[in-house]
Structure 1
Amino acid sequence: MENLYLNFLLHAGTALVILAVVILLVELFTKNKLFNLIKAGNVSAGIVLSGKLIGAAITMAFVISNSVDWLDMVIWSVIGLLAQIIAFYLYEVLTPKFSVYQAIEDNNVSAAIVSLGISVAVGLVIGGCVTN
C-alpha cells in the first residue's frame, strides 16, 4: 500500500515547484517584465500574472486528480503549461490592431482581463482533456 502522506507531499510539492516555474517562465519569455510593472503599480500586469497562475493551477488540479503516478502528473502539467504559452502568443497574433504587450505596458485593464480569461479557459479545456 502506498504511503498517502508521502504521495500528497510529492504531488503538492511538485505542483508548487511547477507554479514557481510558471512565474519564472512568464517573466523570462514575455516582452513585459511583469514584476517590474507590478512594482510600479501596473494593475494589468498583476491581472495577467494572476491569470497565468490560475490557468496553470486549474490544469494541474485536473492533472493531479487524474494522473496515474507522479511522472504522469509532471508530463501532463508540462503539456498544459505549453498550451497556456501557445494561447498567450495566439492572443498577440490574433489581435493585429493592437499589441497585447503594449496594452499591458499601458495598463490596459480590459486587455489584461481578456488575457486572464484566456488563461482560465485554456486551463479548464486542457484540464478537461486529461480527465478519464
Structure 2
Amino acid sequence: MQYVINGHSFLAFCAFAGVGLLILLLAITVVTLVTPHKEITLIRAGNKAAGVGMAGAMIGLALPLNAVISNSVSLLDAAIWGGIAAVMQLVAFGISRAIITRRGPDQIDAGNEAAGWFSAGVAIAVGLVNSAAMVP
C-alpha cells in the first residue's frame, strides 16, 4: 500500500489538526479560568501538583480528540464531537475539583501532589472512556 501526500491531503491535515488544537486550547483556557488558582503561575513557580494536574487535563482532552479526528466523516463532525469531548472533560474536571476541595480549596496551591495526581487520573480516565465511546 502506497501513500502519497498531495495538496488535498495536506490541507485536510491542516484543517483537522487546526480544529483539534483549537478545541484543546479553548478547553484548557476554560479550565484555567474556572479554577480557583492560577495554574500557569503555580507551574512557573515549580508547583508539581499544578503541573501534574494540568498535564493530566491536557492528556485527558487530547485522548478523545484523537479518536474523534481519527474517525470523523467531516471537519464539522470532528468539531461537534470534539466540542462534546471537551464538555465531558470539563465536567470530569469539575467533579475531581469538588472531591479535592473537600479537604480545602488550596490543595493544588499548597503543592499537594496527591491532589494533582488524582485530578490528572480523573481527567485521563474520563478521556479514555470518552475516546472509546466516540469510536463507531
SS in 1 for 2:135: coil
Aligned length: 130
1:73 paired with 2:78, answer: yes
Equivalent residue, structure 2, for 1:44: 49
What amino acid does structure 2 have at the position aligned with 1:22?
A
Residue 62 of structure 1: how far off its partner (Å): 0.6
SS in 1 for 2:106: helix
Out of 125, 128, 134, the residue aligned to residue 130 of structure 1 is 134
What amino acid does structure 2 have at the position aligned with 1:23?
I
Q: 1:1-132 counterparts in 2 under 5 A? A: 3-94=8-99, 97-99=102-104, 101-132=105-136
Deviations 1:74-129 (A, max 9, x none): 11111111111111211233457413x41101101011111111111111101111
Contact 2:60 2:126 in 1 (8 A): yes
User: Which structure: larger Rg?
Assistant: 2
> For residues 110 and 96 of structure 1, do their structure 2 counterparts lie closer, same or farther at Cα, with a shift above 3 Å needed?
closer
Residue 15 of structure 1: how far off its partner (Å): 1.3
What TM-score, normalized to structure 2?
A: 0.88
Provide structure 1 residue ranges, at least 5 long, that are not aligned to the other structure.
Answer: none
Provide structure 2 residue ranges, at least 5 long, that are not aligned to the other structure.
Answer: 1-6
SS in 1 for 2:50: helix
CA distance in 1, matches of 2:60, 2:17: 17
CA distance in 2, matches of 1:38, 1:124: 25
What TM-score, normalized to structure 1?
A: 0.90
